[in-house]
Copies of this chain bind each other. A is one copy, B any other.
Amino acid sequence: MRSGHAVVLRSYPEGLPRTTDFEWVSETTPEPGDGQVLLRILWASIDPAMRTWHSARPGRGVVRPLGTVMKAVAVAEVVESRNSLRVGDHVVGSFGMREWCVSDGADVTRVLDASIEPRLGLGSLGHIGLTAFAGVHKVARAQAGETVLVSSAAGATGALAGQIAAAAGCRVIGIAGGPDKVAICRTEYGFDMCIDRHAETDLARAIRTAAPEGIDVFFDNVGGPTLDAAMQNMNALGRVAICGTISVRSSEPGHGPRHERLMLDKQLTVQGFLTSQFEVDYPEMLESLSLLHSEGRLHLREVVVEGAENAPLALEQLLAGEFAGKVLVRIAA
């Protein structure tokens, strides 16, 4: 038995999740049984999708019972093993926002190469990198010479999507909120241009000014009026990859301009995607990501939050747009 702590869900968020929806509690972790491993969580990831995972009306996936551990993707070290995993292995999975856990391996999505920094398994070489790669290449099929627009460009997924598109020979334009994020996109992530949405009253016009040649691919993390503004600038045969809809309330999506007529006239494709639908391609995609990373073409700012007990606050701040880059919770790293 190990004594540790975990963040548990106490109430379903009304609107965005708040710290008061979660509680930091003690828990004891049993010895691993036959076929199981004991995992020490090193790092956990804070992701925008957490608002969906903990919702009473999640739209996708199941409703998590109150009292269960906050769902989070994490990287952990195998401390004891009674299955084929080896002590010392670094594994990635949805282990939750906690210090210890016992796993039968079913929730392990990947064993990291020993050469990979564990926290990269939650970022450029993990689910964030896979999401960005899938959106750019599998969904939108961005081609060299095309113009790619990315919303929430200073966020972890947007930052990687922009760099993956640039590496494919695309011209890349970001949309970010505020001069600091814009500067990060330009100087650290190498976007050709970045629009400050806080400084623009007419986003559609700002996109047109930034891309008078039109947009071929829109990698969207935002939805709502940001999507509408981009749609007005799409070139014929353009593709929109819907990766996130952070501006749209899940229970009340609201109304907006109709796009079907425009989509017909311009032969546009709009595709919502979850990374998991490309699971069969993960090995090939991770190989491409590793190559880009080794070439120094995948920069990603990290925001490190100390201790799992601070995860609910970090989620609240992430959803308020307070961070630029990948938000990681250091647990036992």
Contact = CB atoms under 8 A, between A and B. Distances in A.
A261 B267 contact: no
B59 A262 contact: yes
Contacts of A266: 60, 272
A263 B264 CA distance: 18
Contact of A258 (B59, B255, B277): B255
Contact of A248 (B227, B248, B260): B260
B255 A257 contact: yes
Contacts of A260: 220, 223-224, 227, 242, 245, 248, 253, 270, 272
Contacts of A261: 59, 223, 245, 248, 250, 253
Given A253-B258, A255-B257, A256-B258, A271 B269 contact: yes
A273 interface: yes
Most buried by B among A60, A261, A266, A270: A261
Contact of A271 (B256, B268, B277): B268
A283 interface: no
A259 B258 CA distance: 10
Nearest to A243: B264
A25 interface: no
Copies of this chain, how many?
2
A274 interface: yes
Contact of A267 (B223, B245, B255, B277): B277
Nearest to A268: B272
Contacts of A121: none
A212 interface: no
Contacts of A267: 271-274, 277
Nearest to A237: B277
A11 B114 CA distance: 73
A183 B90 CA distance: 63
Contacts of A15: none
Contacts of A52: 265
A296 interface: no
Contacts of A263: 242, 270-272
A78 B32 CA distance: 84
Contacts of A255: 255-258
A244 interface: yes
Nearest to A60: B265
A132 to B, nearest CB: 15
A267 B61 CA distance: 12
Contacts of A244: 264
Contacts of A248: 258, 260-261
Contacts of A259: 253
A221 to B, nearest CB: 10
B270 A270 contact: yes
A223 B262 CA distance: 11
Contacts of A256: 255-256, 258
A87 B269 CA distance: 43
Contacts of A60: 264-266
A242 B264 contact: yes
Given A223-B264, A224-B258, 6 more contacts: A59-B262, A223-B261, A227-B260, A245-B260, A245-B264, A268-B271
